[in-house]
Amino acid sequence: MAHEFKLHGSPHSQFTYKVALMLHLCARSFDFRYVSFQKGVNRTPEFRALSRWGQVPVLEHSGRVLCQSAAILEYLAETIGKFGSTNAETRWRMREWLYWDADRLAPPISGCYGVSLAARKLLPLVFDPAIVAWYRQRADTALSALDANLAGRDFLATDQATIADICCFGDVAFAPLSGIDMSRWAHLGAWVARMQSLPRFKEPFDLLRMADAEVRAV
């Protein structure tokens, strides 16, 4: 049975995880379509017809095709009515975090995770040690900034979890998978625990599998 939402992506994509986590936290069932980059599915005409940049995630809903995880999170918050805000100032703060994440946090975590996949022979890539060090330094800087901003706060934009938290958490969840020692950041660690205690929370590979699936809201 087809569900209201269809998510195209990869379990190895932190960006896909953000959207999947949002849907699951909101108790929305969705069909998952696995896009294998190793097999070149992202380059097929069928997928490029959905994703103009050949990137994941892609979300189909009510005749719409949505790209870019941050934009999808904003759309879902507005459509479902959860993890957003009707307050203009709060929406601005949320959007600041979405843009900061795209600029500072997501790229180095993605790079570090790519290095870890290559080291495990799951990607046919070899990274120069200088590039590896550059990714790690940028990741440490971004995680330190996130930790500092969480001092004295439970969540990023307001006193409740919002799409700002879901967006940033989607990257932070891949940091330990990339070999990053998270014990250095106490405020960040407490925030991670709060996110993990949200009803219906699931870790990346508990939520998405390396195959097409029907993910139910149970």
Question: How do residues 91-117 score in pLDDT, each as one tens digit?
Answer: 999 999 999 999 999 999 999 999 999
State the DSSP code for 83. Answer: S
**Residue at 53: amino acid letter:** W
> In whole angstroms, what is the distance from residue 113 CA to residue 177 CA?
7
- Return the structure tokens found at 183: 């014990």
- The dihedral through the CA atoms of 161, 28, 82, 107 has a sign that is positive
Record the pTM: 0.96
pLDDT confidence tier of residue 218, bands split at 50, 70 and 90 = low
> In whole angstroms, what is the distance from residue 118 CA to residue 150 CA?
32
pLDDT at 2 over 70: no
pLDDT confidence tier of residue 216, bands split at 50, 70 and 90 = confident
pLDDT confidence tier of residue 196, bands split at 50, 70 and 90 = very high
User: Which of 151, 165, 175, 161 is CA-nearest to residue 97?
Assistant: 165
Neighbouring CB atoms inside 10 A of 60's CB total 17
Q: State how far Cα 3 lies from the chain centre.
A: 21
pLDDT at 38 over 90: no
Q: Which domains does the chain have, with CATH numbers?
A: 5-83+201-215 (3.40.30.10), 88-196 (1.20.1050.10)
